[in-house]
Amino acid sequence: MSQQETDGTIGVDDEGFIVDTEDCEAREAAYRERGTSRPITVVGNPVLHKECKDVTEFGDELAQLIDDMFASQKTAEGVGLAANQIGVDLKVFVYDCPDDDGKRHTGVVCNPVLEELAPERRVLDDSNEGCLSVPTAYASLARPDYAVVRGQDAKGNPIRVRGTGYFARCLQHETDHLYGYLYIDRLSKRDRKDALRQMEEGTPRYETVPNG
């Protein structure tokens, strides 16, 4: 396997968006095999409830964190993972997520910012949402079915990522994490209470960090 395939390098399309749908299996496996799975932090842990620090160093330490995040995401059977979900106070998330057409997207975004959508692009999708940091709980949450995130890749290069459907939800969900918001913070008081009840009654299928 060439270095290009193993270091996560990917191309850009004619509109300036990264091409994150090619060699997904090989790229994800390369990240994961270099990484070490870590336990997941859950709601109530202070690192999840504040804005994370910007990534300013794009070197070996960040590369190892990204590898660990892919390993942790795979262990927890997730489709997206933010750094603070493994207790790291940095603005970076990884994803390995299908869109509504079944196309797989795999990548990394540092210092993500959601772009404002034009009114005609703000079509809401009221689907179920879950979170590795709120294990075993799900709730319906309306989000735009299209999202564009700009940020940087693992080497500090500027990138833009776009997604539709389920992948758009993932991009919004993970960006929220890095600014201190869980999806349950966007629910009504009643629905949030119900999600927390589901979490209390369930048993996570992966290792979590106990709060307190």
**How many CB atoms lie under 10 A from the CB of residue 75?**
19
**Within 13 A of 166's CA, how many CA atoms are on the CB side?**
17
> Pick the catalytic residue: 174, 200, 201, 207?
174
Could you give the CA distance from residue 33 to residue 49 in angstroms, rounded to a whole number?
A: 30
Phi, psi of 91 (to 5 degrees): -85, 85
Six-digit token string for 88: 């790291």
- Judge whether 177 is annotated as a binding position: yes
The H or E element containing residue 86 is none
Instruction: Give the CA distances from residue 132 to residues 74, 154, 202, in Å, rounded to whole numbers and listed in that order.
Output: 11, 23, 13
Phi, psi of 81 (to 5 degrees): -150, 130
75 Cβ contact list (under 8 Å, min separation 6): 37, 206, 207
- Judge whether 131 is annotated as a binding position: yes
Asked about 174 being catalytic, the answer comes back as yes
Going by the annotation, the residues of the binding site for Fe cation are 131, 173, 177
List residues with catalytic annotation: 174
